[in-house]
Structure 1
Amino acid sequence: MPAIALYVCPQTVCASLSLANDAFGLANHLAGRPLFTVRRVSADGQPVDLGFARIQVDGDLAAAETADVLIVPATGSAIDACLAANAPLLAWLTQRPAHQQIASLCSAAFLLGAAGLFDGRRATTHWALANPFRQRFPGARLDIDALVCHDGPILSSGGAQAGLDLCLYLIAWHTGDALAEQVANTLVVDGRRTGQLRHAPLIPASPARDRQIEPLLQWMQQHHADAIDLNRLAEQANCSPRTLLRRFKACTGMTPNDYLQRLRIGQAQQALRNPAHTLEQVAEQVGYADRATFAKLFKQLSGETPGAFRKRLHLTLPQPSRRTAQQSTGEKKPAG
């Protein structure tokens, strides 16, 4: 009977903790017998206040030594404060039983990374934390698109809901695919979801501000479908191409061409919501002369083809009924 230990600290995201707890509890319920034992542990064995909830625990970190799996739920984005507050966990992780599986959910990957568990290993975390993770743990092989990574005894998951993917993976690993699929179906989730990068914004917030570059970014928004090269952009910004490259990257974190392609694909994502537009029309509308180039860049940046993107939207977005449409527009149904 696999024993699961869930680590709880004041930085624990309550939803992440309950997600893991419920997944294994549901597996036991559906199996009709206790396949997993689940216990909660804290650094000192004392209950943990999570702001609006006080979590009772079953013991301290010593109680986790006999667990087959230790799961560290998400701990939020205050990385430095979290690492400082969980020094006992970091020390314990360096002395953990060699056979034990250790898993991080979302941002908790920073705790495993700080303990050196990802050195030379494949890992993932939330897509928004990719850059700080790479900076802190250059020895890790970050696969930021992955929902779940499993390398040796160490596991990690991406953004919030990917924690459930990791729990389903562990259920399948320890008991078989059938029960994991049953748990997924009961929770009404797709157990075969693809990567997380398609949820990330194509153009992240600019790391710096530049009074000369910001008007250029607005101009590119309006003219993204035009034939644009570096010389035209430099002329628009009233500077040399070399100066533009330097200042543009400092402002946006990417080259002008990278920014333009992401801008075009972002506009294409919006255009694809209209089923009346063919893929060829969308490609031309955002600035690509042929569908093949457009499709290749779209998949590269979005993680799926334009057709798959459109199909997913059709399957996941509810279509408003006539009654709903009438209510939203104030239209009244004709009498009689």
Structure 2
Amino acid sequence: MKKAIIALALLASAGIQAQDIYTPGEGEGIIYFLPKTQIVVDIIATRVDYKPGEFGLYANRYLRLNNVSTRPETHWEIKDIQVRTAGIPDSTKAYIMKLKDKSLESNIELTDQGIAKAINTTSSYKEEQPEYKLQIPQKHENAHQYMTEDILVAGSSAKMAELTAREIYNIRESKNAILRGQADTMPKDGASLKLIISQLDKQERALTESFTGVTDRTDKVFTFTVNPEDKMSDKVFARFSSRLGVLQADNLAGDPISISISNSSSLPAPVEDGKKKKKIDGVIYNIPGKGKVSVSFQGKIKWENELQITQFGYTEVLVDGLFDKKVNTRVVFNPVTGGVIKIDKD
């Protein structure tokens, strides 16, 4: 939370009414901004790293596993695309608010960026940041710690592979015998059974990976911002390559990821009649519009929805009389859109 203070009076405007546009170095008052919308696109991409197994050449011969690669490989995949909005100060909508003895409108709370949050109250609004469940590489057991002495002292890789495969089959037979109740020594209870099966699974997996190799998947979030415009069609803001991952828009090594935006507001903005109108003293705020947003890659829409977009709306005024000390009006604004969240009074 940031309270506006008198020091802001050093940054002022020639006019003294709240709707006067701020000009540095003139007048007295509190400066506040209205926000404008930025479209934020989060691309969650997965890096896939494959490391071949020690006995990959013998996977088909001893374990009947086909298409096991013996070459290391790294490639990228797009896991998900999510779109959200963010509010930043609009330099064309900076206003000066005069400090008045009989008014409470100058009791204004601002964000760290100077965007209006609340008047005559404290805002509890918190912008929620996305929390993505990102995959990280799992721990792989060293297969050698489960190899018998005969395997480790074998004179060739082929012989080691043969004995390792035989050990894998022995583990499988042991698990089947336990699960069927045919083992010479059975676990005493369910917990013991679960523990033994878990240990056998771990050994089998480690030894099998010495043939199949291991694949690690690591997620990473790439964030891009787009300034929305009406009738924006297939604007390329990023690129993607299965070899290089997510790239900047000007890197032609990848296929384009594009965004389309169109104004979908249902309420028309007030129409000016061309006549000169008297200024109304008060607090300027936004009536945000709406826009249809879609993100596409390789001809397919990956994300589509309707979002609030300030630039597709217009501004209005909370008249000065609302903030008379006898009325005690309280207003909470959305610092992302500049719209009113709540307004009440005593």
Task: Give the shorter-chain TM-score range.
Answer: under 0.3
What TM-score does the superposition give when structure 2 sets the normalisation length?
A: 0.17
Higher helix share: 1
Higher strand share: 2
What TM-score does the superposition give when structure 1 sets the normalisation length?
A: 0.18
